[in-house]
Structure 1
């Protein structure tokens, strides 16, 4: 069950958006809740903005007694853009961005929760900045590197539907905003598991809002893909992570297959794996209470 604490004044519940200079990049972030509560830093994945963390999930975590921070990674949303050719970066650099963001918010330690590529960044935070991490939660993520030839995690096969989607993008790259939105809608359809039916209208609206907020999405995707490809394999490194670790993974994830979540949990001593039957590479509304409950139980144990 989710422990809800709603005794704080209404003004404490309000969200506050701001920009923080971190690691040479201007990062947009949003905070909600009481700064005196233990912080949760939400790290989003490849090409996705911080606002992709559902409002309902953020509110559940706040109501559970946390100061919730979500932010746009570099090259994403309202955060600063980088010329990758002139200034290449990896997931380790994105972890340094997150650490600098915590500095800017005067947060010494935080519960780090990352989704997809954000889960990889979260691992790098735990490896490079262990003193900042109260707990680690990786959602639909992996420790192994991506094979640049196949575009999938080493040890897994690329889902045929994703191979077909990749081929369509390569043969006829989307040029206009509408074409880019349609490509993202098509991808979201593939990534949705059987747990919930795919809602094309709602998905299109969300993606369109993201485009309106984030500008050049092609730039974002290109740079994030390059950063992931240039990053190290962490499968032999995550065993040194000492922060209490939770791994949440859908059993029908076509992007980061379930065996990757299982391998990540097995590689980190003492970690806990929470499988979600029928979830793909998305966080549909019906599972948000389950995810929030698992995260709150995990963080609350560490905060005792």
Structure 2
């Protein structure tokens, strides 16, 4: 599978399907497993591209600090290697910030789908999302912070599978901390007017980590932003409410 180097950091990605490229950028610490539901939904009518952030999965994990701007440069490096002049970018949490940065700093973004993210990262407590990849109990506890209580209670088999995926793909503590610091340092709230691409902001109404109000404020600040709250869903809304998110995403792409 393809790997491309950005200033000596090897970045792993996969593609499937044909057509306009839809690139997925992940949240703090999570491997590419988080996009399994969306990747399968778009690969066909579109070309799906899923990359491991630096620090996760099969990408290199250099010592920090990381910045959102650096991660956006990683994204455009991957797009170039994949032969994509531009892409519809779907980002969750940190990945949403990367998407915003890429849209502001480059002409490589056709549209934005921003999932459980915000225009600024100050004041967010991301620690409940951390789970050591070699500690299944910690991984399960941290998933409970990212999902709604009803999902955790009603679908234990899916939680168990996520624990297994996290154990093999998620970031170690140092890389997780570097990614989390990039979130804390990010603030584009005063420059949202510069980001004129069509933007759909999706947010779990029960997100206990990234407050839903930040998602609503983000959409209001974007010139072409639209906001959708997904009821009864937590921070990993694209995982636990994947059908609703996929419907919203595919409808948005079709209207674009």
Report the TM-score, using the length of structure 2 for normalisation: 0.91
Which residues of structure 1 form unaligned runs of 5+? 1-16, 153-157
Root mean square deviation, CA, Å: 2.3
Report the counterpart of residue 43 of structure 2 in structure 1: 62
The match for 1:221 among 149, 157, 176 is 176
Q: Return the index of the structure with the highest Cα Rg.
A: 1
What's the CA shift string for 1:156-214, capped at 9, x where partnerless?
xx6xxx88x59xx9xxxx88922xx3222112112222563444453233223332345
1:136 to 79, 87, 112: 112
**Counterparts of 2:85 and 2:30 in 1: how far apart (Å)?**
26
Q: 1:281 aligns with which of 226, 231, 235?
A: 235
Runs of 4+ in 1 over 6 A off after TM superposition: none
Partner of 1:24: 8
Q: Following TM superposition, by how much is the alpha carbon of 1:285 offset from its aligned partner in structure 2, in angstroms?
A: 5.5
Displacement of 1:121: 0.9
Evaluate the alpha carbon distance shift between residue 118 and residue 62 of structure 1 in structure 2; reply closer, same or farther with a 3 A threshold.
Answer: same
1:211·1:217 contact (CA, 8 Å) conserved in 2? no
Q: Judge conservation of contact 2:109–2:197 (CA < 8 Å) in 1.
A: yes
Q: Counterpart of 1:14?
A: none
In the alignment, is the contact (CA less than 8 A) between 2:25 and 2:50 conserved in 1?
yes
Residues 63 and 174 of structure 2 are in contact (CA less than 8 Å); yes or no, is this contact kept in structure 1?
no
SS in 1 for 2:56: coil
Instruction: Tell me if structure 2 keeps the 8 A contact 1:39–1:109.
Output: yes
Equivalent position to 1:112, from 64, 89, 96:
89
Partner of 2:27: 45
Taking structure 1 as reference, are residues 40 and 48 closer, same or farther at Cα in structure 2, changes over 3 Å only? same
Secondary structure, in 3 states, of the residue corresponding to 2:43? helix
Instruction: Give the alignment partner of residue 210 of structure 1, picking from 163, 166, 172.
Output: 166
Residue by residue over 1:259-296, the C-alpha shift from the partner in whole angstroms, topping out at 9 and shown as x without a partner, is 01100000101211111111111136662222112112
Q: What is the total number of aligned residue pairs between the two structures?
A: 255
Does the CA contact (< 8 Å) of 2:233 and 2:240 recur in 1?
no
| 1-structure distance, mates of 2:7, 2:197 | 24
TM-score if structure 1 supplies the norm length? 0.77
